[in-house]
Chain A
Amino acid sequence: MASIELRNIRKAFGAVEVIKGVDLEVRKGEFMVFVGPSGCGKSTLLRLISGLEDITSGEMLFDGKVVNALAPSKRGIAMVFQSYALYPHMTVYENMAFGLTLEKGHAKEEIQQRVERAADMLQIRQYLDRLPKQLSGGQRQRVAIGRAITRDPKVFLFDEPLSNLDAALRVATRIEIAKLHESMDHVTMIYVTHDQVEAMTLADRICVLRDGLVEQVGTPMELYENPNSVFVAGFIGSPKMNFISGDKAKAYNAETVGIRGEHITIVPDGGKWSGTVIHTENLGADSYVYLEMGTEEPVVVRLDGANDYKSGDTVHIAPMEDKIHRFDGAGKPIR
């Protein structure tokens, strides 16, 4: 169990500053997700926590102790890499046991027990004597997770672990990682992803990063309901929040108003706004209607069940007034 504290952490590669002063606290046993667009510094931040990269300035504390100069292996961490990073010449068993066999003070039986326990948790016991190249992508990812479990870490680090898997496997593995967190509730987990669905479904708290700075930290529902900026509002939630500026926003005394697709209803007539249907997507359980109404991007309306609107139809829509987010010129919310 470990709490992690970052105090004004900065990281520069040469003249390029990637992390520009991050303050953050990750609580004991928490599942924290770093999310943000590519290039926002989320993976770099994870690598700083792991110790694989040196911190340029600032302080990193594990359980109140500064670990800035501590080697990765001494931080009590385990890491799951995007590319799995399995040792290609070792069997699954050897991959999982390698770290322990090099540490002093582990009997052979103990190592075997720990490897087998982890293998059982991930249902990879039948693959223990195979080489990584004989496994599928999903199985390799399990081995990588198993290797991390075997180390019995205080902090679990995931660097976009699902991005190399296909869609179905991604959902299945996501659920397994959530279960893993439940079964290892004493372990602090930090998870990096660019996929806001993964962030929403896995996280106790989400840290949204943008250009090397923390944009907002909070529980998934906090971010969904009370985004701290236009950026967070647009990043969290699917489909993306609709942003409307100009006269329609001025009516609300705001530079920009945001409304999620699920908070708009289509009304027969007399709605607040109207637009032309340019595209519809039927997903079965729900469906999306894309409207052209003079905004930068088309406005998306989410409907339950299927719909039969056609391109060219004019529809009237009414936003739920209490779900409208108002933002000022700087993109900050007006509350």
Chain B
Amino acid sequence: MATDVMATPVAATGGKIKSELMQQRVRAARWFLLPMLIALAVVAGWPLLRSIYFSFTDASLNNIDGAEWIGFGNYFRVQQLASGAVRYRGLLVDADWWNAVWNTLRFAATSVFFEAVLGMVVALVLNAEFKGRGIVRAAILIPWAIPTIVSAKMWSWMLNDQFGILNDLGLRLGLLSQKVAWTATAETAMQAVLVVDIWKTTPFMALLILAGLQMVPKDIYEAAEIDGVHPIKQFFRITLPLVRPALMVAIIFRLLDALRIFDLIYVLTPNSSATKTMSVLARENLFDFDKFAYGSAMSTLLFLIIAILTIVYIWLGKVRFDGGDR
């Protein structure tokens, strides 16, 4: 794997004796890394630093260059009103923000949980030998291949309260007594978003888990067969521990994705406080409300929250990115 190739020379630098070959490898590795590092610095590093900088200023959309440093004011400040009353202002005491944080976390945890479970089920099915497996594998990827904007629009029509096919089906089958505005009702908006996201990304999860499943040698299942291990026990005692590394990496990919969810919610449930996530709220403040600095502060906090959650996950889950412990 690529990580191994890069890890070897780095590990070797700790030693005192470096062979010519090792030095050559280290030099080559640096040259190969350089273009990627430059690209990352330009498209990710610089915008990130700019956002963090703006979050400490009073920048607005029509006065970005004239922004002045105001310190932590966007995050937290104490305001003394003329009447003498004290008011706390800033992002850290903004109820809308914490609502968005809560929505994001709820969305991420629920969607990733269901995607992992369903993805595992799909992967186990696809790992079995049956006729037409290749076609099924390709077909199952379709939801993932459709651009999110397209699938979100498609679902929003299907979920439409007046003309949507789901309401029509529900009424005809007697499951619904009246038409439901799935995406517009506060109680069902989050469920609707979750269903669409799970539908869309389960295939991705399934494919990553399938790759892990195919690494598990077949003969140990035969050994288990002779040991008399019940199929359910085989799954929990053999399959699950062995695909755990792949599963953990798949979950972290999805978690990162889910925590910054934007497009699906922006199209499916625009402007609903029941589903508004950190990314949606940040964009709204940045561009719609012309609170550029405030939106930047949100982006910065979003970045911090994702970073902390990821680090905690990697640390607690002992995730290894080198393909597991075999």
Residue contact A88 to B242, C-beta cutoff 8 Å: yes
For residue B233, CB closer than 8 A to chain A, the reply is yes
Given contacts A81-B219, A89-B242, are A102 and B229 in contact (CB under 8 A)? yes
A80 vs chain B, min Cβ distance (A): 9
For residue B257, CB closer than 8 A to chain A, the reply is no
- Residues of B contacting A86 with CB < 8 Å? 220, 223
Chain B residue nearest in CB terms to A148 = B226
B237 vs chain A, min Cβ distance (A): 8
For residue B217, CB closer than 8 A to chain A, the reply is yes
Query: Quick check: which of A21-29, A66-74, A169-177 contacts chain B, the rest being far away?
Result: A66-74
Residue contact A52 to B242, C-beta cutoff 8 Å: no
B278 vs chain A, min Cβ distance (A): 38
For residue A98, CB closer than 8 A to chain B, the reply is yes
Q: Which of A57-115 contact B (CB under 8 A)?
A: 71-74, 77-79, 81, 83, 85-89, 98-99, 102-103
- Residues of B contacting A99 with CB < 8 Å? 226-229
A240 vs chain B, min Cβ distance (A): 32
Residue contact A83 to B219, C-beta cutoff 8 Å: yes
- Residues of A contacting B229 with CB < 8 Å? 73, 98-99, 102
Residue contact B228 to A73, C-beta cutoff 8 Å: yes
B234 vs chain A, min Cβ distance (A): 10
- Residues of B contacting A42 with CB < 8 Å? none
Residue contact B222 to A88, C-beta cutoff 8 Å: no
Chain B residue nearest in CB terms to A89 = B241
Chain B residue nearest in CB terms to A144 = B223
For residue B172, CB closer than 8 A to chain A, the reply is no
- Residues of B contacting A77 with CB < 8 Å? 226
- Of the candidates A79, A81, A87, A103, which one forms a contact with B228 in the assembled complex, judged by CB atoms under 8 Å apart? A103
Residue contact A52 to B228, C-beta cutoff 8 Å: no
Given contacts A87-B238, A89-B325, are A79 and B217 in contact (CB under 8 A)? no
Residue contact B238 to A73, C-beta cutoff 8 Å: no
Residue contact A72 to B225, C-beta cutoff 8 Å: yes
- Of the candidates B222, B227, B230, B325, which one forms a contact with A81 in the assembled complex, judged by CB atoms under 8 Å apart? B222
Residue contact B228 to A71, C-beta cutoff 8 Å: yes
Residue contact B326 to A73, C-beta cutoff 8 Å: no
B55 vs chain A, min Cβ distance (A): 46
- Residues of B contacting A147 with CB < 8 Å? 223
- Of the candidates A51, A81, A102, A133, which one forms a contact with B223 in the assembled complex, judged by CB atoms under 8 Å apart? A81
**Roughly how many angstroms separate A136 CA and B116 CA in the complex, as a whole number?**
36
B289 vs chain A, min Cβ distance (A): 53
- Residues of A contacting B219 with CB < 8 Å? 81, 83, 85
**Roughly how many angstroms separate A232 CA and B267 CA in the complex, as a whole number?**
76
**Roughly how many angstroms separate A102 CA and B233 CA in the complex, as a whole number?**
9
- Of the candidates B220, B222, B227, B233, which one forms a contact with A52 in the assembled complex, judged by CB atoms under 8 Å apart? B222
Residue contact B226 to A52, C-beta cutoff 8 Å: yes
Residue contact A88 to B228, C-beta cutoff 8 Å: no
- Residues of B contacting A154 with CB < 8 Å? none
- Residues of B contacting A103 with CB < 8 Å? 228
**Roughly how many angstroms separate A78 CA and B222 CA in the complex, as a whole number?**
11
Main secondary structure of the interface of B (DSSP, over half): helix
**Roughly how many angstroms separate A79 CA and B220 CA in the complex, as a whole number?**
11
For residue A50, CB closer than 8 A to chain B, the reply is yes
For residue A151, CB closer than 8 A to chain B, the reply is yes
Most buried by A among B222, B230, B242: B222
Chain B residue nearest in CB terms to A102 = B229
Chain A residue nearest in CB terms to B326 = A88
Residue contact B326 to A52, C-beta cutoff 8 Å: no
- Residues of A contacting B222 with CB < 8 Å? 52, 79, 81, 85
Chain B residue nearest in CB terms to A132 = B326
A190 vs chain B, min Cβ distance (A): 14
- Residues of A contacting B220 with CB < 8 Å? 85-88
**Roughly how many angstroms separate A85 CA and B219 CA in the complex, as a whole number?**
5
- Residues of B contacting A83 with CB < 8 Å? 217, 219
Q: Which of A109-157 contact B (CB under 8 A)?
A: 133, 147, 151
Residue contact B326 to A151, C-beta cutoff 8 Å: no
Chain A 3-47, CB-CB to B under 8 Å as 1, else 0, gives 000000000000000000000000000000000000000000000
Residue contact B326 to A133, C-beta cutoff 8 Å: yes
- Of the candidates A73, A102, A133, A151, which one forms a contact with B225 in the assembled complex, judged by CB atoms under 8 Å apart? A73
Residue contact A87 to B223, C-beta cutoff 8 Å: yes
Residue contact A151 to B227, C-beta cutoff 8 Å: yes
- Residues of A contacting B238 with CB < 8 Å? 87, 89
Q: Which of B242-285 contact A (CB under 8 A)?
A: 242
Most buried by A among B225, B227, B241, B326: B227
**Roughly how many angstroms separate A78 CA and B228 CA in the complex, as a whole number?**
11
**Roughly how many angstroms separate A74 CA and B226 CA in the complex, as a whole number?**
8
Chain B 170-214, CB-CB to A under 8 Å as 1, else 0, gives 000000000000000000000000000000000000000000000
**Roughly how many angstroms separate A232 CA and B241 CA in the complex, as a whole number?**
47
- Residues of A contacting B223 with CB < 8 Å? 79, 81, 85-87, 147
Given contacts A85-B217, A85-B219, A87-B238, are A102 and B227 in contact (CB under 8 A)? yes
**Roughly how many angstroms separate A188 CA and B224 CA in the complex, as a whole number?**
21
- Residues of A contacting B242 with CB < 8 Å? 88-89
Chain B residue nearest in CB terms to A131 = B325
Known: A85-B220, A102-B230. 4 other contacts (CB 8 A): A88-B220, A98-B229, A102-B228, A147-B223
What are 14 contact pairs spanning A and B, CB under 8 A?
Answer: A50-B226, A71-B225, A73-B228, A74-B228, A81-B219, A85-B222, A87-B220, A87-B238, A88-B242, A88-B325, A99-B227, A133-B325, A133-B326, A147-B223
* 4 nearest A-B residue pairs (beta carbon): A73-B228, A99-B227, A85-B219, A85-B223
